[in-house]
Amino acid sequence: MSGIREITEKVCEGEHHSSKVLSAILEKLSRLEDNQEMERLRSVKIVQQNSKILKRIHQIEQFLLSQPKDNAELICRIVENTTAITEMKSTYKETMRELRADNRGKYKQKEHAQKRINLSKPEPGIIPTLDETFYKKLESARTRNKPHNFYYEKPIVDIEKLDSKRSQIIPPMFIYFINVFLKNPQNCAFHKKNDRTYLCRSDNDIWEKEDSNDFWLFIRSFLWDSYVKYVSQMPLDEGDTFCEGIIDKLENIEEPQIPVNKTALIWQLYKKKTLPGVPRLGELLAHAYHSKNKNYS
């Protein structure tokens, strides 16, 4: 390595390199020498520790192959092998501690780029703008005088009873909304995985387990609040009583009267069939959960 340094110095002098370039090269060479020496010492230490382990393994093999003369010798050998195994474990743990200490600070966690809404905040998700399809559906509802396409025509008496009967309560325009809303990965901040349910309650896309009953009540309320904000983007022209009536109705629905039940949500999110090539909403939610921030898990 010293020979390389001399050659480098002569080349640099011969070509009139600047002193800064020369200093940088020499510094890198010095670091390389230090790293090589450290690796050599580590290799020597590992070889020594491996020798100890192999020696203990040989002792255990000899014990297993030989026949003890009496019980006293048997007990003595058991004690020796127990000691050998203990020492092997101790050597292994010590080696692993040293390797971890050497590598500490060298690993850099992969930066998590995906943004996700924080469901611990009392805010709706990222609301999409009203598109052409929405306005077509609005015009169709206006023509047929069906404002209840946006809400539910009958009052909700007992939402839990509807779930027990497997009846689905969900407005058609709410179905359209969740399909648009969940196309944005940032809004996919909840997921049902088998019998377990999870929510993202962090600005860093960190998820946590949630009680199933509380989960569905929360998601029902969260999606409805986001839906109301979405529909409220409708332009209110003077004298447009149809749109005014819809927005007024939606904004005055209390939480117990939200016309969406757990059975309908599970069907729409996880069970409803889609066109070929179009993922289910549940697949989008599953992808969001599996791509969550794992740096803190």
Name the strands in the sheet holding 207-210, side by side, starting at the edge strand that comes first in the sequence.
190-193, 196-200, 207-210
Read off the pLDDT of each residue in 233-250 and give the average, rounded to a whole number.
91
Confidence of residue 12 (pLDDT cuts 50, 70, 90): low
Task: Give the chain's length.
Answer: 297
Convert the pLDDT of each residue in 149-158 to its tens digit.
999 887 777 7
Convert the pLDDT of each residue in 208-237 to its tens digit.
999 998 999 999 999 999 999 999 999 888
Confidence of residue 8 (pLDDT cuts 50, 70, 90): low
Backbone angles phi, psi at 198, to 5 degrees: -135, 150
Long-range contact pairs involving 277-283 (C-beta distance under 8 Å, separation at least 24): 281/178, 281/179, 281/182, 282/192
Q: Is 140 left (phi over 0), alpha (psi -120 to 50) or beta?
A: alpha
- The answer for residues whose C-beta is within 8 angstroms of residue 23's C-beta and 6 or more apart is none
DSSP 264-277: HHHIIIII----TT
Convert the pLDDT of each residue in 20-61 to its tens digit.
667 777 777 777 777 777 777 777 777 777 777 777 777 777
Amino acid at 121: K
